[in-house]
Amino acid sequence: MTGLLEPKAIGTDLRRRDGALKVTGAARYAYEAPVDNAAYAHPVQATIGRGRVTSVDTAAAEALDGVIAVLTHENAERLASTEDAELAVLQSGDVAFRGQVIALVVAETSETARHAADLVTVHYDEQEHDCVLDPDGELYKPDKVNPAFETDTAVGDVAGAMASADVTVEQTYTTAMYHNNPLEPHATTALWQPAGDGGDLTLWDSTQGVHPARSTVAEVFGLAEDQVRVVCPYVGGGFGSKGTPHAHVILAAAAARAVPGRPVKLALTRPQMFALAGYRTPTIQRMQLAANRDGVLSAIAIDVVEQTSRIKEFAEQTGVPTRTMYRAPNRRTTHRLAALDVPVPSWMRAPGECPGMFGPEVAMDELAEALGIDPVELRIRNEPEVDPDTGHPFSSRNLVACLREGAARFGWDERDPRPGVRLRDGWLIGTGVASSVYPVHQMPQSTATIRCEDGRYVVEIGAADLGTGTWTTLAQIAADALAVPVADVQVCIGDTAYPMASVAGGSSGMITWGSAVVEAAHAFREKFGDDPADGDEAEGSVSENPMAERYAMYAFGAQFAEAHVNADTGEIRVPRLLGVFAAGRIVNPRTARSQFQGGMTMGLSMALHETSVMDPRFGHVVNHDLAEYHVATNADVADLQAHWLDEHDDKVNPMGVKGIGEIGIVGTAAAVANAVHHATGVRVRDLPITLDKLLPHLP
Amino acid sequence: MKPFAYQAPTTASDAVRQVADDPDAVFLGGGTNLVDHLKLGVARPGALVDVTSLTSAEITERDGGLLIGAGVRNSDLAADPRVRERYPLVAQALLSGASGQLRNMATTGGNPLQRTRCVYFQDVTTPCNKREPGSGCSAIGGYTRYHAILGASEHCVATHPSDLAVALTALDATVHLLGPDGERTVAFGQLHRLPGDRPDKDTVLDHGDLITAIGLPDLPMARRSTYRKVRDRASYAFALVSVAAAVDLDGDAIRDTRIAFGGVAHKPWCATRAEDALRGQTAGVDAFRAAAEAELADAAPLEGIDGGNAFKIPLLTRTLVAVLRELTGVNR
Ligand SMILES: Cc1cc2nc3c(=O)[nH]c(=O)nc-3n(C[C@H](O)[C@H](O)[C@H](O)COP(=O)(O)OP(=O)(O)OC[C@H]3O[C@@H](n4cnc5c(N)ncnc54)[C@H](O)[C@@H]3O)c2cc1C
Ligand code: SF4
């Protein structure tokens, strides 16, 4: 690869270009699509965990003034593809989980739709359901884990190493079920124009990828892709839950088809999001570490048990980060799934890495304690020269530098390793550390065009901005690739009218779309030189990076936490979180900091607060709103710092960027758990860490 | 959501008549609890009778204490300098609840009448005796982290969620009512009920009884009072347990004390046994602990899917000890 782009606009902390529109309310979100004469849809959800709908009585709902239609499995249109069972809505009376949509009301107002939905009576043939993730229950081995990793890996003899090691750690750790809960609920406005061959469908959908959403919807309805347009300039958060279309998108489109020419709006309520918008599976992680007295690992193993829904598999790659983190001659990772009568799990910020760096990073802390070695030092002693999984060299790996920089900034060196000995003003105080990692993902396809208009450069690509900063950062990349001031660049994203872009997932956006923009800029300059005429246009696409075959590419980080535990009540507060990341070149420090800090806050939330309480008797998450499902609030976050190293990696892509959207959440919960242990001497291995788990052990 | 009528009468007595005459009508205060319940289908009234401007929004001096109009917003009550100085536990209780936006809407009349946060009560797809008498109690054997350890019945194990109500119970405040038959008062400690076999009835109020004001008594020891709320996150969460307490000290001797607990029962729990145990004692950690143990002798924790709520017994004991340490300044 030739040298990196000369950074001029890249690296400056430009304000968000969409900021003013958002804070003044001028930015329109999916539900606010500017359409006339909209109808409104509201789903009816199953109230059994498994079985069949035997009859749906819609008479009372239909009799209500203002009700336009009630769709059920008996009258809804047959979809062209039902291969994706999550999207095969209203195709049969089968109920696969509680909360599944079994009817849809379309009405003149959202209030009427909601009222009518209440009036629909459903009879069921109920079967016994199973919603309990039990490591001793029926499990199976998936073919691959998300998206296409080997399910199991094994090298050497872990059992042998465990038997002969000086010190071992063998513990089970669990993470809870989590829901993404973006502020903007999942929402779609759909319009079928009956004209043409089979009509045209426009979707204003809150999505992380307009083109992937279009492909999915076109396939489900048997349409050509050019019959479908998906528009999404702004997204109020997604965290993965808007990465693939869920049932409501198909429902909105089906409802629109039932009232041709009339737009239909559908927004999920917060409780509905707990059944219909994906979530992170709970995980059970059995860890084994073996080491000699110097802390050098001879074995590392993780055996993961997690759940999926019976109708559609999603296998979270929880064991995968363990394959890369530390050197050890004997290694094993496995994944086993329970297929349950539960909603369909899906992506949530850093699938795999986020839960998968909890057990291992707490286990490392336990090992450090057993050995009497500082936990930062223990990690440094197990730094591999090459990727232990593939044997490839790293394109850059600065975990050790992150640990050292973080330790210096955090004041780690003054740390007294003894747990449970610092009591100040009624609070037990402790500090903890954990490593962080996230792979460099580049998606195979994305195209951008650049056109000269009135002396400015218009960049078009169907990319997404989930609040991450794409509107701004793509302009910075285009400016440097074209060697023009960033003010001369206009970026157009979030519409399938623009060239094809990949999903905003796997922290791949900047890498993939940015590469396409750089290619387009090069093509543009090649064709039109430095003095283009109005209307000149060139296109560029991301291409495979040959280096990806030869190098292991990852961002790394180190997370430090200070925990205070009330000696009377066990209440836990985290006044200080500090992360240092090595994630390639940072395109915009302002938007990057907010990504890192957002991830860290979400990790804190996972450590202390979040848990979706599944009531196995009913089969649904019972704390399904934001009053009862706790996410960290401002008051829970105090001194929150994200720093990064100046990392130069010329192998990853022409911008030298690695993804940053997800790494902030990775390792945070382990750092907090380790800090709580240091504060109290209590080792909590099951998230979230709540006061009832500490109370019995407090003085 | 069922359609409803909105009525805005111009006098309190008209409002009372409109509700008393219509079994389907309810009063509307700040709406921060009721409107949620309308959306969820938990409340299905035919008419809302808006009373926010019909009762006083003033706090006035009365018999050495304060009379708080039912229309006073929670934020204004918490900010009142007289309340902060003479009844700090009231201000602290309010500020520990909900969020700034909610407190700006919520009223003094509506706050004590907010309904339980039991997740099964709030979800019309699960059986609940409080919402639908006779349907059963889903919380028993379910998610019980926020549920009762005191005074529950086999019909309902819910807790009352209001923080303000715990402070008002400790103070022995007075509820001023206007009913179809005229005015009357009820001691705050008598306002809420235990569930027994009628968990659908939260309070002793009859349909059409309007809270017009709440009176705080002349109680000098309330100046040495506090409200301590223990919760799962630093803000915007309901109490796991809470303690409202005031102490009247004579040197190290406890002349008198007022104690109420939140988060542990169907009503704000007036801790009379603990008060009795402490009265006349020398302040000290052992006495504090003994008082908590006396109050919790009959506590019956619940099992549940998320570990149950047995932790509330040691938690409340430790919290009461901590609160009394703080109020008395005695740490041994
Ligand atoms: C997310 C969230 C978090 C919260 N957290 C807390 C918390 O931590 N602690 C806490 O204490 N509270 C909390 N609250 C609850 C909040 O304090 C109550 O909703 C509020 O105090 C209710 O007052 P209101 O005036 O809005 O009552 P409304 O919702 O208007 O009415 C509540 C009930 O009282 C009746 N009513 C209203 N006024 C009168 C009157 N004058 N006379 C007779 N009946 C009347 C109504 O008919 C209704 O049944 C929270 C609420 C939410 C939504
Ligand atoms: S505890 Fe009370 S409110 Fe909760 S489900 Fe049981 S009866 Fe209903």
In a domain, A8, yes or no: no
Option in B1, B234, B318 nearest A569 (CB): B318
Q: Determine the residue of B40, B115, B121, B155 to mutate for testing ligand 2's pocket, defined as the one with the most ligand atoms within 8 A of the Cβ atom.
A: B121
Q: What is the pLDDT of residue B15?
A: 98
A550 touches chain B (CB under 8 A): no
Residue recorded with tokens 């999920």: A268
Mutate to test the interface with B, among A174, A571, A617, A624 (most CBs of B within 10 A): A571
Residue A155 structure tokens:
């090298």
A111 touches chain B (CB under 8 A): yes
Q: Which residues of A161-200 are buried (b: 16+ CB within 10 A; e: fewer)?
A: bbeebebbbeeebbbbbbbbbbebbbbbbbbbeeeeeebb
Segment B309-321 shows an average pLDDT of 98
Segment A566-592 shows an average pLDDT of 98
Q: What is the pLDDT of residue A196?
A: 61
In a domain, A188, yes or no: yes
A118 CB neighbours in chain B (<8 A) are 1-2, 41
Distance from CA of residue B162 to its chain's centroid?
A: 4
Do A41 and A88 share a domain, yes or no? yes
Option in B3, B315, B321 nearest A115 (CB): B3
A331 touches chain B (CB under 8 A): no
A617 CB neighbours in chain B (<8 A) are 138, 141-142
Residue B273 Cα to ligand 1 middle (Å): 29
Give strand pairing partners of A324: none
B102 lines ligand 1 (CB under 6 A): yes
- Read off the amino acid at residue A499: P
- Read off the amino acid at residue A366: E
Number of structural domains, chain B? 2
Residue A387 has pLDDT above 80, yes or no: yes
Do A506 and A652 share a domain, yes or no? no
- Write out the catalytic residue numbers of A: 662
pLDDT band at B1 (very low <50, low <70, confident <90, very high): confident
- In chain A, the percentage of residues whose pLDDT exceeds 90 is 98
In a domain, B230, yes or no: yes
Residue A447 has pLDDT above 90, yes or no: yes
| A186-200, A209-223, B194-208: segment of lowest average pLDDT | A186-200
Question: Looking at CA atoms only, how far is residue A664 from chain B in angstroms?
Answer: 21
Task: Residue A464: give its domain's CATH number.
Answer: 3.30.365.10
Do A454 and A565 share a domain, yes or no? no
- Provide the 8-state DSSP code for A17: T
Do A533 and A569 share a domain, yes or no? no
Q: What is the pLDDT of residue A1?
A: 42
Q: What is the pLDDT of residue A195?
A: 67
B117 CB neighbours in chain A (<8 A) are 627-628
In a domain, B17, yes or no: yes
In a domain, B56, yes or no: no
Question: Looking at CA atoms only, how far is residue B147 from chain A in angstroms?
Answer: 13
A564 lies in which domain range? 144-178+280-441+550-697
Number of structural domains, chain A? 3
Of B120, B121, B196, the C-alpha closest to B153 is B196
- Let me know: does A574 contact A632? Beta carbons within 8 Å: no
In a domain, A137, yes or no: no
Name every residue whose Cβ is closer than 8 Å to that of residue A114 and which is 6 or more positions away in sequence: A42, A105, B1, B39
Cα–Cα dist A583/A440, whole Å: 9
B2 CB neighbours in chain A (<8 A) are 115, 118
In a domain, B263, yes or no: yes
B120 lines ligand 2 (CB under 6 A): yes
Question: pLDDT digits over A418-429, tens only?
Answer: 999 999 999 999
B106 lines ligand 1 (CB under 6 A): yes
Distance from CA of residue A422 to its chain's centroid?
A: 37
In a domain, A1, yes or no: no
Question: pLDDT digits over A120-165, tens only?
Answer: 999 999 999 999 999 999 999 999 999 999 999 999 999 999 999 9
- Let me know: does A579 contact A642? Beta carbons within 8 Å: yes
- Determine whether the interchain pair B235/A632 forms a contact, defined as Cβ–Cβ distance below 8 Å: no
In a domain, A556, yes or no: yes
In a domain, A323, yes or no: yes
Do A402 and A449 share a domain, yes or no? no
Overall residue count recorded for chain B in this entry: 332
Residue B150 Cα to ligand 2 middle (Å): 14
More confident residue, B1 or A474: A474
Beta-strand runs (E) in A507-548: 537-541
In a domain, B122, yes or no: no
Do A434 and A457 share a domain, yes or no? no
- Determine whether the interchain pair B119/A608 forms a contact, defined as Cβ–Cβ distance below 8 Å: no
In a domain, A9, yes or no: no
Please tell me the residue having the least CA distance from ligand 2 atom 2. Answer: B156
CA-based torsion, B236, A574, A168, A666: positive or negative? positive
Question: pLDDT digits over A39-81, tens only?
Answer: 999 999 999 999 999 999 999 999 999 999 999 999 999 999 9
Mutate to test the interface with B, among A44, A427, A569, A601 (most CBs of B within 10 A): A569
Residue A171 has pLDDT above 70, yes or no: yes
Angle A589-608/A668-680 helices, nearest 10 degrees? 50
Q: What is the pLDDT of residue A194?
A: 77
Number of helices (H), then strands (E), belonging to chain A: the values are: 17, 28
- Determine whether the interchain pair A571/B119 forms a contact, defined as Cβ–Cβ distance below 8 Å: no
B28 lines ligand 1 (CB under 6 A): yes
Q: Where a domain ends, among A276, A306, A340?
A: A276
A271 touches chain B (CB under 8 A): yes
Do A477 and A616 share a domain, yes or no? no
Option in B3, B119, B231 nearest A622 (CB): B119
Nearest Cα residue in chain B from A111: B1
User: What string of DSSP letters covers A95-163?
Assistant: E-STT-EEEEEEESSHHHHHHHHHH-EEEEEE--------TTS--B--SEETTTEES-EEES-HHHHHH
Torsion of CA B94, B95, B97, B99, to 10 degrees: 130
- Determine whether the interchain pair A691/B315 forms a contact, defined as Cβ–Cβ distance below 8 Å: yes
- Provide the 8-state DSSP code for A620: E
Q: What is the pLDDT of residue B64?
A: 97
Backbone phi, then psi, for A696, in 5-degree steps? -65, -20
Question: Looking at CA atoms only, how far is residue B178 from chain A in angstroms?
Answer: 33
Q: How many CB pairs under 8 A join A and B?
A: 95
B118 lines ligand 2 (CB under 6 A): yes
Question: Looking at CA atoms only, how far is residue B215 from chain A in angstroms?
Answer: 30
Q: Where a domain ends, among A276, A297, A329?
A: A276
Do A191 and A272 share a domain, yes or no? yes
For residue A431, give the H/E element and its range: strand A427-439
Of A284, A180, A306, the C-alpha closest to A235 is A180
Question: pLDDT digits over A72-125, tens only?
Answer: 999 999 999 999 999 999 999 999 999 999 999 999 999 999 999 999 999 999
Name every residue whose Cβ is closer than 8 Å to that of residue A449 and which is 6 or more positions away in sequence: A459, A460, A461, A498, A499, A520, A537, A538, A539, A540
**Secondary structure, 3-state, A406-424:** HHHHHCHHHCCCCCCCCEE
Ligand nearest to the CA of B127: 2
Cα–Cα dist A311/A646, whole Å: 46
In a domain, B260, yes or no: yes
Residue B228 Cα to ligand 1 middle (Å): 20
Cα–Cα dist A293/A164, whole Å: 12
- Let me know: does A630 contact A477? Beta carbons within 8 Å: no
Residue B203 has pLDDT above 60, yes or no: yes
| Sheet containing A94-95, strands listed edge to edge, beginning at the edge strand earlier in sequence | A94-95, A51-57, A121-126
A115 CB neighbours in chain B (<8 A) are 1-3
Option in A573, A615, A691 nearest B234 (CB): A573
Residue A197 has pLDDT above 60, yes or no: no
Segment A261-268 shows an average pLDDT of 96
- In chain B, the percentage of residues whose pLDDT exceeds 70 is 100
Mean of per-residue pLDDT scores for chain B: 97
CA-based torsion, A274, A280, A286, A287: positive or negative? negative
- Let me know: does B294 contact B317? Beta carbons within 8 Å: no
Question: Looking at CA atoms only, how far is residue A268 from chain B in angstroms?
Answer: 13
Cα–Cα dist A479/B233, whole Å: 44
In a domain, A4, yes or no: no
ipTM greater than 0.95: yes
Q: Where a domain ends, among A544, A572, A600?
A: A544
Please tell me the residue having the least CA distance from ligand 2 atom 6. Answer: B137
- Determine whether the interchain pair B120/A622 forms a contact, defined as Cβ–Cβ distance below 8 Å: yes
A690 touches chain B (CB under 8 A): yes
Do A227 and A343 share a domain, yes or no? no
Q: What is the pLDDT of residue A198?
A: 58
Ligand nearest to the CA of A622: 2
Cα–Cα dist A244/B227, whole Å: 47
Name every residue whose Cβ is closer than 8 Å to that of residue B298 and which is 6 or more positions away in sequence: B150
- Determine whether the interchain pair A691/B230 forms a contact, defined as Cβ–Cβ distance below 8 Å: yes
Option in B126, B142, B230 nearest A569 (CB): B230
Cα–Cα dist A184/A217, whole Å: 21
Segment B4-8 shows an average pLDDT of 97
Do A110 and A255 share a domain, yes or no? yes
- Determine whether the interchain pair B311/A691 forms a contact, defined as Cβ–Cβ distance below 8 Å: yes
Residue A3 has pLDDT above 80, yes or no: no
Do A340 and A421 share a domain, yes or no? yes
Q: What is the pLDDT of residue A4?
A: 86
Question: Looking at CA atoms only, how far is residue A40 from chain B in angstroms?
Answer: 14
Option in A613, A620, A636 nearest B233 (CB): A636
Question: pLDDT digits over B235-250, tens only?
Answer: 999 999 999 999 999 9
B30 lies in which domain range? 5-48
Nearest Cα residue in chain B from A568: B318
In a domain, B37, yes or no: yes
User: What string of DSSP letters covers A558-602?
Assistant: EEEEEEEEETTT--EEEEEEEEEEE-B--S-HHHHHHHHHHHHHH
Name every residue whose Cβ is closer than 8 Å to that of residue A389 and which is 6 or more positions away in sequence: A153, A323, A324, A552
In a domain, B268, yes or no: yes
Please tell me the residue having the least CA distance from ligand 1 atom 9. Answer: B97
- Let me know: does A660 contact A423? Beta carbons within 8 Å: no
Number of helices (H), then strands (E), belonging to chain B: the values are: 11, 12
Do A594 and A690 share a domain, yes or no? yes
CA-based torsion, A30, A31, A32, A36: positive or negative? positive
- Let me know: does A544 contact A519? Beta carbons within 8 Å: no
A636 CB neighbours in chain B (<8 A) are 233-235
Nearest Cα residue in chain B from A570: B315
Of A357, A301, A414, A372, the C-alpha closest to A671 is A357
B288 lines ligand 1 (CB under 6 A): no
SS3 B266: coil
Residue A10, CA atoms < 13 Å, CB-side half-sphere: 23
Cα A439 to Cα A501, A584, B89: the distances in Å are 20, 12, 52
